[in-house]
Structure formats: structure tokens, C-alpha cells
Structure 1
Amino acid sequence: MTQTDPGPKWVSGDFMYGAIFTPNAQVTKDFFVSLLDWEVERVESEYAEFDVVNLSIQHSICESAGEPDFFVGYYTSDIESAIRALGDSKVVIKGEYFEEDGGYTVGLQLSTGHHTSLYQYVDPTKNVAGTRTGQPEVLGVSIPAKDPRQYVSDLGTAVGGRRLTDQGTISETTPSVHLVQAARLHSIPIYRTNDLRGADDRVRTLGGTADESEWTVPDTRLFRDPTGFQFALGE
């Protein structure tokens, strides 16, 4: 890879940001540091306690009094055009877009009830995506929705044509986004592990549990950390 080729770039509609919401950010941080070798920094932010610095997408750990949850944010190459495109839709735009962490961001509430956000880099040369070789990776996310097609339609209005594939994923989105028809709204991230077969024992040793809830993403297993936060592992 040459100096003039910094690597793959985010494109509109890519899943590029995730935030864990947990009742105890310290416990969740310690769990994932031990389980998946995350490198974590404490941050001074009203939204997050920790940033994970060695994942393939931006990742934060946030303390929240509610049920554990996972927040999903998407990339846009033109935030103003995205906001204009949503003008006549049922998507609620949560205030004006603003500068944050070297880019522009805006919150959205989709017509399905899901909260998400869009992000655009101020400096396009900073837009470098993809997996960092040898480091932990986010494989994807599972998003339950009463109407998966409406979720994809809302997102597609903002970031360009997206469709729900026959496999239940959003087309052309990296990392993968899996839509599941379900009443709950809690999303579940999927992380890479080098030893899926031994994950049960490792998770239990660290105070977590294997989760026997219905789960449809192939070649992955569902777990909970000690706070009850749901996540999945795959190879």
C-alpha cells in the first residue's frame, strides 16, 4: 500500500460507529479487554467513558441506567444532502448537525423507532476504513425491527439506495448489518474471536454467560457480559 493509497474508504451507508450502553462501563471495559484484547482509553465526554482504539470501526463504551444496548451509526459522504433527502420522510432529524471528532454528525430517529446517527468527515483525506491487520475486528451487527424493510428504506433515503438482501443483510454495507424481524429494538454487535469453540469457557471465566436466546446469524454464538450486555462472537 503506497503513501498515495491510504486504504479503503467509508462509503455512504457503511456501519462505521458503535457504542455500547451498559449500567457499568468499567465492568464492561474490563471484560472485553480480557476477552478480546481491546485497547481502551478513558475519555472526557458527556456521552462516553471509554473509547476502544484498536477496533476496525470507531467504538465507545458508555454508562447508562437503562437496559444494556448497542448504538449503530452510519457514514455519509454529504450530511447536508442526506438531511435534505429526509425532508419529506417520516424520519425525525434530531436537531442541527454539528462538529464532533473531526467531522459532522446528526442524530436520527427512524420511523421504525430506532435511534441512529450519520457522520461525515470534515477532511475527506481522514476517511480511511477497513480492518487493521492483526487487530480485533467488528464483524457486523444484528438489528431487530418489526419491519426490517422499512428500516432499510429509511436508511436508504438518507444515504442512497440500500436494499434488504435474501440473506437478511443490508446490501453493500461494511461491516455487515443483519436485520431480524422482532419486536425488541436492542441491537447486538458481532466481534471476531480466534477461538469460537473455546469462547464459552473464556466468557464464563470472566463472569459472562452463554445466551441461549434465538439467534440467526450463521457461524456465530451469542453471549452476555457480566452487566447483561448482549454480543456475539464469530471467527
Structure 2
Amino acid sequence: MPDPFDALRTPVTPSQPDPMFAARLRARVERALSVPKGASMSDLIHEAAATERARQGDLAYVSLWVPDLSRAATFFSTVLGWSYGPGSTEQGRQVEGSTPQHGMWGAQERPTLHLCYGVNDIRAAIERVRAAGGRADEPTEEPYGTVAMCEDDQGMTFSLYEWRGDAERGPENGRHEGDLSYVTMEVPDSAKARSFYGDVLGWRFSPARVEDGWSIDGVVPLMGMAGGRRPATVVPMYRVDHIDDAVGRVRAAGGTATDPQHQPYGISSECTDDQETRFYLGQLP
């Protein structure tokens, strides 16, 4: 007779959950462990999420870089319901009410999402960028704070922003339709990128379920990294309430969208706009 406990002798193999699901779970566990002993979890969960301070390495601001600003503004207004305020120049727009703060910048040769990372001490962060083989301009004082333009050691541009003392941490994957919910950094060499951003921002990484894919631990919004990709680029995911309707709007506006696919974290579609700007839609819990 077979031993009913034979199954227990099978070697244990680690699971490979979806990176977005794993990152969300990890962030929630970290928050739970920070609750004071004896406190009521039901009373503190929403309060803690609302009052937690922004951390070094979180995204402070993003900007969608596009060839034609007017076309992009019309497309994403149609698909995501974005409305805009003026930017600092005629080639800039600010997406109103977005989380995190989101801009749009025109006259760019190649579409991508420009990322601005929050840091605690911008001068110290600039020195880390340079020491890691990147390039960093001197910081400038703007009406909204202190910033510096940078480039990593593989040619990807980014910015640094010095957190102000009252900066609150944003949500893991957006709150409302049109919010940024996930970011994928596509890089030529993931080992170099992980070393660079680990040194500069203190990021930690966990293997994801795809080859040379990595979850970036403990940042908001949730982020991942994929190696072996040229040219380096950043691909956003935007939150939607009803993905079938959103996919229809993408196609009607002249873009492309895959049929929605069920994932562990929700339902997603891979898309491009009418200027070949890549992005994802995500219907999330």
C-alpha cells in the first residue's frame, strides 16, 4: 500500500508569484510589522497608509515624454479621462489630480516615462550617482522644491527631488482611474542597473517570475525591472475601472491594445498610443 505521507517527502520548490502581487504583499507586511504592539489593526491600517511619510527611492513625480504633445494629450484624455493644467513651458502639461504627480512633455524623439525619485539629501544622492558611474547636474531650486537632472551608467535619464518634511507616501498602485499603478524599467543590463540604483537609492530586488525580471522591493508606486532590453525605456501601467471599456477607447483613439488577460493581481492589457508610446492598462482590486 502506498504510504500516504510520501507526498510530504517531495522536495519543496519555491513558488514564483507574479512580481506585482509579491511587491504588494511585501509592502503590506512591512506596514503591518511597523504597527505598535497592542494597537488595533482595523483602526490603524487606513490611518497608517494616509500618514506614512515618503521614503527615499519612492517616485515623487513622473512625466510622459512624447513626440507630439497635443496628440498625446488628446489620446490620454480620451482613454484615461485626464485633464490638464499648464506646464512650465509650451511643451509641458500637468495631469490634474493624479497620484503621484504626473506631467507630460512634448517634442521628444522617443516616447518613455521619465522618473523623478525622492531622496532625503539631494547633494548626498548626487555624489552617489557620480560615484556609481552616472552623471548628475548640480541641484536647482524650483518653486516646488530642489531637483537635479541625472543619467545612469547605461544612459537612462532620471531626476532627483529632495523630499520636504511633510511629504506623505502615496498608494501602492494608484487610487483612481488614470493613476499610475505600476512601472517597469527596461534596461540593457539588469545587473548593472541593480547595482547602480541599489547604490544611489538603496533599492533592494527580488527575482520575478520571468527571466531576468526583478521586483523592486518596498517602493511606491510598485515597480519592476526587466533586463536584456534595448533601448532602455520605462513603461507605465495606468489604473482603470473597466478594462474592456478602456481597451475599446484605446483602439477607437488610434492606438493598439491586446485583449484583456487575467493576472494574479488583476486584469491587464498591453497597449500603445497613436505615437507608439507603450503602456499598460490594469483593472485592479
* TM-score over 0.5 (shorter chain): yes
Asked whether the 8 Å contact 2:177–2:239 carries over to 1, the reply is no
- Please say which structure displays the higher CA radius of gyration: 2
Question: Aligned residue for 2:157?
Answer: 115
Separation (CA, whole Å) in 1 of partners of 2:108 and 2:178: 28
Query: Structure 1's 217 and 179: CA in aligned 2 closer, same or farther, altered over 3 A?
Result: farther
Superposed CA deviations along residues 40-96 of structure 1, whole A, max 9, x for unmatched, are 1122327x4210121111211111241222211111011122123344321222x21
Separation (CA, whole Å) in 1 of partners of 2:219 and 2:139: 23
Question: Aligned residue for 1:60?
Answer: 103
Q: 5 Å matches for 1:179-194?
A: 179-181=225-227, 182-194=229-241
The answer to whether 1:207 aligns with 2:254 is yes
Q: 5 Å matches for 1:41-80?
A: 41-45=85-89, 48-80=91-123
TM-score by length of 2: 0.71
Q: Where is the helix percentage greater, Structure 1 or Structure 2? A: 2
Letter in 2 for 1:67: R
Question: Aligned residue for 2:223?
Answer: 177
- How many residues of Structure 1 are paired with residues of Structure 2 in the alignment? 226
TM-score by length of 1: 0.85
The RMSD of aligned alpha carbons is: 2.7
Query: Structure 1's 217 and 38: CA in aligned 2 closer, same or farther, altered over 3 A?
Result: farther
Separation (CA, whole Å) in 2 of partners of 1:21 and 1:134: 22
The answer to whether 1:227 aligns with 2:275 is yes
Q: Secondary structure at the match of 1:169?
A: strand
The answer to whether 1:34 aligns with 2:78 is yes
Separation (CA, whole Å) in 1 of partners of 2:160 and 2:63: 14
Once the two structures are TM-superposed, the CA of residue 12 in structure 1 deviates from its matched residue by: 0.3
Once the two structures are TM-superposed, the CA of residue 222 in structure 1 deviates from its matched residue by: 1.2
Query: Structure 1's 10 and 197: CA in aligned 2 closer, same or farther, altered over 3 A?
Result: same
Percent sequence identity is 22
Superposed CA deviations along residues 189-227 of structure 1, whole A, max 9, x for unmatched, are 110011123332221112221269xxx997422111122
Letter in 2 for 1:208: G
Could you tell me which runs of 5 or more consecutive residues in structure 1 were left unpaired when the two chains were aligned: none
Separation (CA, whole Å) in 1 of partners of 2:87 and 2:187: 32
Asked whether the 8 Å contact 2:78–2:249 carries over to 1, the reply is no
Could you tell me which runs of 5 or more consecutive residues in structure 2 were left unpaired when the two chains were aligned: 1-43, 209-213
Letter in 1 for 2:226: V
Query: Structure 1's 19 and 128: CA in aligned 2 closer, same or farther, altered over 3 A?
Result: same
Separation (CA, whole Å) in 1 of partners of 2:225 and 2:59: 13
Asked whether the 8 Å contact 2:237–2:279 carries over to 1, the reply is yes
Separation (CA, whole Å) in 2 of partners of 1:230 and 1:101: 31
Letter in 2 for 1:173: V
Asked whether the 8 Å contact 1:143–1:187 carries over to 2, the reply is yes
